[in-house]
Amino acid sequence: MIAMLLSSVVIILVSGTFLVQSQYYSSQSLHVGAHDNARVATERLASEIRSTMQDGFVVAGARTMTIRSPIVLGVVCDRAGNDVHVHIEGGVAGLDVDEVAGLGMRDSGTGAWQYRNTTWSLLNGGSVSSASVCAGNGADTMWAASEFRQLVEVNPLFGAVPNEGTILMLFRETTFKIQTSVLDTSTLGLFRQVYGESFVEFATGMDTTAQFQYRTGGSTYADTITGSNVGDIDAVRIVVDARLPARSGVQEDVTFGWSVNVAVRNFP
């Protein structure tokens, strides 16, 4: 009898420990998942926002944000009719041509960017003779001949062919949207849409408080910026509070408050 009693106590203690361990593991998994959701969402967003040039914001809403961020910049090293020869870092090999949403041109006087939507297939003029043409204008093409390309039909986009030395931008136009998750309908998800494509969910588990906020100088952030004020955005606050539903009745939903301020680097 004594042996039975002692063994029962031992079994209860060990079982209790095991159950606590299991709950701890489950809880940690939820926390990690919540952290990962928040981190993935912010890092992907921040990397695109950070490089956005002035006037690169198209839509600045609490749950929807559309930005034009540079895929790569290039400098015009020669002009020919409606076309230009440019240097593009890394050449086409380093370019995700499917994401090209248009061409931007920097005003050398004001530093402002003009954006025009087009596609890579309409712009691509190949690389024939570009390196030698640019070398003739002083460019150093050594070991980088493939980085010199021809962009065609630039004149109709801007009304004039950019001068030598003008800086162009192949940009992507991306819309980020926080809406009900497809993967887990009890939470919100962060969706990304490349220009002309459909929305793709790349982070899930957002809480209902998740949103974007914008700063236009000063230190306060607003949920929505409209009209001409969109051009004044110099920082974005990404609020991606994460929530993962509990896996059992003894647990509560795991929430993780997370917000990051991303300064737009190129704002003068």
Q: Is 22 in the site for other proteins (CB under 8 A)?
A: yes
Q: Is 134 in the site for other proteins (CB under 8 A)?
A: yes
Tell which residue, 176, 180, 205, 206, has the closest CA to residue 193: 176
Is position 137 an interface residue for other proteins (rule: CB under 8 A)?
Answer: yes
Residue selected from 65, 67, 68, 70 as contacting other proteins according to rule CB under 8 A: 70
Burial class (CB in 10 A: 0-12, 13-18, 19+), 186: exposed
Cα separation, 92 vs 115, whole angstroms: 21
Residue with Cβ nearer other proteins (45 or 73): 73
Q: Which helix (H) or strand (E) holds 242?
A: strand 242-244
Whose Cβ is closer to other proteins: residue 158's or residue 180's?
158
CA distance 235 to 171: 19
By CB under 8 A, is residue 227 in contact with other proteins? no
Selected binder of other proteins within 37, 68, 83, 106 (CB under 8 A): 106
Site membership for other proteins, residue 149 (CB under 8 A): no
> Given candidates 81, 97, 112, 128, which one binds other proteins under the rule CB under 8 A?
112
Closest CA to 241 of 256, 261, 252, 260: 256
Give dist(CA 236, CA 174) in Å, integer.
15
Q: Strand (E) positions, the chain?
A: 57-60, 64-80, 83-88, 102-106, 113-117, 148-151, 167-180, 188-194, 200-206, 211-215, 235-239, 242-244, 254-256, 259-263
Residue from 59, 62, 92, 144 in contact with other proteins (CB under 8 A): 144
Among the listed ranges 111-119, 177-185, 214-222, 240-248, the one in contact with other proteins (CB under 8 A) is: 111-119
- Which stretches of the chain bind other proteins, using CB under 8 A? 3, 6-7, 10-11, 14-15, 17-18, 21-22, 24-25, 28-29, 31-32, 35-36, 39, 43, 47, 50-51, 53-54, 70-73, 75-77, 87, 89-90, 94, 106, 111-113, 134, 137-140, 144, 164-165, 167, 265-266, 268
